[in-house]
Structure 1
């Protein structure tokens, strides 16, 4: 069976790219930025009450609305009063482990997000996963410039996105 390999230009979706361009500004939201920093500092889910406490000068109701807004816009996932996901981080183990400097392990939502952690933090780190095709272990380093030489021959699998793919799935 031959595997079709396309270039990034062939896979580009202009509508998706326009939505992501609009989301870049949303990612500068101070609440979202603090949530990301917390995922780097410590593993595990973040209780919404902890987020409220980070901003003591803001009314509780306003903070809860801000968190709910981030969830509605699919920048985070709140379940049972806790942030379980803040792109690119997941609070629970996934198939995409990122080992930060000093050996701290964090988990990414997908392969692309794992690569994005290195770029976002501007640090060299290890990425560990398994091959989608054969199940073999993968481990290589990445930094802000991209994957290191240990990733030679590694390919990221990207599927066609549908309308429903705009919200995180928790059932997979």
Structure 2
């Protein structure tokens, strides 16, 4: 009898395994959507060269930093982001500075890999390195790469 019930449930997609798998896929999809929005806000802050964090990121603060304030505006228009920020598990909100830095490092590595791939197929490549001291007398090294890509377009990229 149990075997027959299982076959019927499996056929109609109502088995426990099927329900668990469906729920797992939905959670993964929602996580991907949230992380995509999260990464887009990080990328916006990076492109516009605005700081991410403020001095006081507590809920009571009037200015919790650019990243959290922009994410709050997005949450006003995106129920998934709002729900995750308000009721998500503490370790799955990805709002800490450590997580922001990790994701920025991943994005930076992706950009660097893209540039390296472009340089590998370039006909011409020129490396420019310049060292100078900043106001605190700390030495800073700037590295710039100029190259003509596969489409014969001159590119100039700063690596550090």
Normalising to structure 2: TM-score of the pair?
Answer: 0.29
The higher relative CO (CA closer than 8 Å, separation ≥ 6) is in 1
Normalising to structure 1: TM-score of the pair?
Answer: 0.28
More strand by share: 1
More helix by share: 2
